[in-house]
Amino acid sequence: MTYMRVSTGVLALVAMGACASVAQRPTTEWLNDKPAPWPRTTDGRIERARPLVVAAEFELPTDLLLGLIWVESRFRPDAVSGAGARGLTQLMPGTAGDMAERLGLPRHAARPHDPSFAVRAGAAYLRLMLDKFHGDVNTALAAYAAGPGRVRKRLRKDGGLPSRARRYAGKVQRARRRFRPAPRGPSGPLS
C-alpha cells in the first residue's frame, strides 16, 4: 500500500513536470506542425513579420523594431552574419539564450531562426539596451550592434560611440522612416 502511494505521487510529479515542459515549448514544436513557409518577396516578408512586431510587449515603437529588423536581416529569418548572429533580429547564440531566460524560457528554447522567438528576443534585448542607456535610442542601437560593454568603454574614453556602431544606429533610424504610418489629414486618412 505504501509503495502504491509513493508510485502514484511520483507519477503525479512526473506528469506535472511534463505538462510544465510542454507549456514552455512553442506550440508548433510539440504539435509537430510546421509553420507556413516564409514569403520570398521583401514585401511579403515584411507583412508576415508585422503582426509579430506589433505583438512585442516591450513598449517599443513599432517603426523602431521594424527598422532594426530591416537593417539586421531584411526580414529573412534564415539570415546568418559572418560573426554568427542569427535570425530576423540577428542575435548571437549566447544573447539569444540570455533573452530566452528573460522571457521565462529555458536557454535551450532559444530559437533565433524562429521568427516569433527572434522578434520577442530582439525586442527584449533592445528594451534592455534602452534601459541601460537611459532611453537614448542611438546609444541603445549602437550597443545592440557592438555590445554594451564596448559602447560603455568608448563613452568613458572619449564620450563618443564606436564609428561602426554609430553608422549602424543611423541606418536603423533611416530605416524607421520606411515603416512609419502615413500622416493623417485633418479629417482622417486619405482615401
Backbone angles phi, psi at 188, to 5 degrees: 110, -170
CB–CB of 71/168 below 8 Å?
yes
Residue 100: which of 90, 111, 89, 92 has the closest Cα?
111
**CA-only gyration radius of the chain, Å:** 21
- Tell me how far apart the 2 most distant CA atoms of the chain are, in Å: 78
CB atoms within 10 A of CB 98: 18
The C-alpha atoms of residue 145 and residue 100 are separated, in whole angstroms, by: 19
Q: Which of 171, 138, 170 is closest to 155 using CA atoms?
A: 138
**Identity of residue 139:** T
Residues 6+ apart with CB under 8 A from 80: 86
Report the catalytic residues. Answer: 72
